[in-house]
Chain A
Amino acid sequence: MLETVQTTSHDDDILANAMKPANFQKAVNNWVPHDIALKDAWFPLAHSFAVEAKPVRRSVYSQPFYLWRENGVAVASEFHPNDSERSSKSIYSDASGRYPVLERYGYVWGWYGNPANADPVHLPSIPYLPEEGNLPQHMLGTVRFDCCAPLSLENLIDLTHADFLHADVVGDEKMDKEVVEVFHDSETITMVRSCTNKSVAPIMKRFGGVKDDVQQVRQVIRIYLRSHAAIAYGRFSPGDNVQLFHPCVPETRDRTRLDYTMNTSNVKKSNPFRYLMPKASYKVSRQDSYMTSPQSPRYMNPEKRKDLHSPLDEAGQKYRVLMQALAERQAHGDFSYRDNVSADCSDIIGYDGK
């Protein structure tokens, strides 16, 4: 049994228009993620520990970001310090080629867009990551996807695929009841999935000390659209809560870097789940990549045919429409944030600090 509840919460013309049923379906089927490159956003380019005196290379939509530390402070530049043949500078950095940069939640964030608009207020809220970072490295990891970031995020926000593709890690689709709710504003989409008496995730059964056969599950995926960064928060009872930060940095239009943090400090130190859960990403991401990588050309040009959808695809369809509404607004020269992404979202995701 599946019920879908929709909630809307603002008044954005382009967005309101896009959400009208006729336009909505059109946008859903006009989905060419390759063509969408949003600007004016903070991207979590690297784990803080990875940025040292020697520059590391990142990019956002092929725009180079070299990161290193000067006197302990992270800097981001268009140019490698040893690059003697600098090409002309882009409009995304200051006169010396430096980008706005800040450090929070254990990441070095670079601003992609007009430097004048860089403002910490546009940094996504991630309630369960300590602002100062410093989580142990076994909770951090890097995965690359040879597909575009929106495809990875559309994959993530549809959690029913996990029951099928990742059943051996997170458990299959057997349950008594499933309710999916989708919320959005102009900058975020949040999907809340509540499952009653769902098969226990094998990883919790085998390594997490959960003895029961079924558990109550509440999973939240919240995507910060511009930053292409997602919160994946799961409450399991019995079982430990899962606190994953899942950013998808579009290093190029069709390649994605995921520097994740799986904060398992809520799990007892004696429980192997604390050390193994962060490693599950390697297995899960391979399963995803089997289906999504390398980048499908079917997402690089408009397709004549409409996709088919099931009632389970509500969140994914909305994600498509919201991304296009933002892109359309930016195409009209409007880069402002109409909703605050840095306001604490604990209530929205149901995080109670435990």
Chain B
Amino acid sequence: MAETNTNPQTLWWAVARSEEVTNAKPINVDLGDQPVVLWRDADGVARALEDRCPHRRAPLSLGCVLGNGMIQCGYHGWTYEGETGHLKDIPNLKSTQKFPPLYRAKSYAVAESGGFVRISENPAATQPAVIAAALPLSGTEQVSLTHSEFLNALYDDPALVIAIRGVRFTPYLATELIEANGRLVMERNCQWAGPRWPAPFIPEFPASLLISTEPETGESKLIVRDADFKELLRVILAPVPGSRGVTQVRWRAKLASHRPGIMAKVMGTGAPFEILSAVDGAALRVLRPSVSVHAEALRQGIIDRRTASSQAA
């Protein structure tokens, strides 16, 4: 997705999990400072409009989804069609009335696959690559960290923002943050949880956590592997910047069904993956930026090269 896009307007942001978007009640998400309302129309297609009624500026997410799949503002009942945002009805006016094309709410392009609903600010944005099956486990958390602070914490000490059942993250990296195939990639050595020798005295690590990030959206793939390179857990994690510096993080995960070794089996007891809802500010403040020190430069480098090559093309 978005691999060759460099204009921020054409990026696709995973603003919801598929199961969060229904035709029962519209939901509100943010894309940066921009509130967005999401719902499903009569054909089950996810729709996205700016969460602002152009009539009297009320949030459309306070309204409802009508049987015909359109969204109706809760204030005066103006009714909008989801694909284009065109106004279709005003109560008290004859419904046969045609409204001028200007009468519309701002619409977003929507693409849904792999259990994520993605939107783009550019209605003409090329559709992102289709992801096959959705990973079965999923969750949503709103974290009080900015988008880049969330990713920096994930790079510098994942334990401050995520938890993986039975796994302890060590400070000792397997690979530093590097560029690989246009993504930011790093790998951190892990131990099993429980009483262990401290990481500095471990000759061989039993597992590792690979993090691979799309530089523009921050959407990341996390893979836990054991020492035999067997994949134990795979996570897709989509941080989206929201209002007031909050980052909305949606994730989907799959735990490998066969996990050799008693400790790898422990990963299946309870929730294998979670995003921490609260960040330990005291720990975060004194966390030394190590991996993240060069993350921004690396990220910018990838984006600049993308821009250059797309301009050359």
Q: Which residues of A contact B (CB under 8 A)?
A: 2, 154, 158, 160-161, 163-165, 173, 178, 290-292, 296, 298-299, 303, 305, 307-312
Contact = CB atoms under 8 A, between A and B. Distances in A.
A160 B87 CA distance: 18
A310 B93 contact: yes
Interface in B56-81: 56-58, 62, 74-77
Nearest to B106: A305
Given A2-B92, A308-B87, A312-B93, A160 B54 contact: no
A296 B58 contact: yes
A200 B57 CA distance: 30
A164 B91 contact: yes
Most-contacted residue by chain B among A2, A164, A298 (CB, 10 A): A164
A308 B76 contact: no
B74 to A, nearest CB: 6
B73 to A, nearest CB: 9
B293 to A, nearest CB: 36
A165 B92 contact: no
A298 B52 contact: yes
B102 A160 contact: no
Interface residues of B, number: 18
Contacts, number: 54
Given A290-B74, A291-B75, A160 B58 contact: no
Given A298-B57, A308-B103, A291 B62 contact: yes
Given A161-B75, A307-B56, A308-B87, 19 more contacts: A2-B92, A2-B93, A158-B76, A160-B76, A160-B91, A163-B91, A165-B74, A165-B76, A173-B91, A291-B58, A291-B62, A292-B75, A296-B58, A303-B57, A308-B103, A310-B55, A310-B90, A311-B93, A312-B90
B160 to A, nearest CB: 32
A164 B89 CA distance: 13
19 contacts: A2-B93, A154-B56, A160-B92, A164-B75, A164-B76, A165-B75, A165-B76, A290-B62, A291-B62, A291-B75, A292-B58, A296-B57, A296-B58, A298-B52, A305-B54, A307-B55, A307-B56, A308-B87, A312-B90
Contacts of A158: 76
Given A2-B92, A158-B76, A161-B75, A308 B55 contact: yes
B305 to A, nearest CB: 34
A309 B76 CA distance: 11
A37 B192 CA distance: 65
Contacts of B52: 298
B92 to A, nearest CB: 5
Contacts of A163: 91-92
Closest 7 CB pairs of A and B: A298-B57, A164-B77, A291-B75, A160-B92, A308-B54, A173-B92, A161-B76
A178 B57 contact: no
A311 B100 CA distance: 13
A299 B57 CA distance: 8
Contacts of A164: 75-77, 91-92
Contacts of A178: 92
A143 B62 CA distance: 22
A334 B92 CA distance: 40
A164 B91 CA distance: 7
Interface in B89-115: 90-93, 102-103
Contacts of B55: 307-310
Nearest to A160: B92
Contacts of B58: 291-292, 296
A298 B119 CA distance: 24
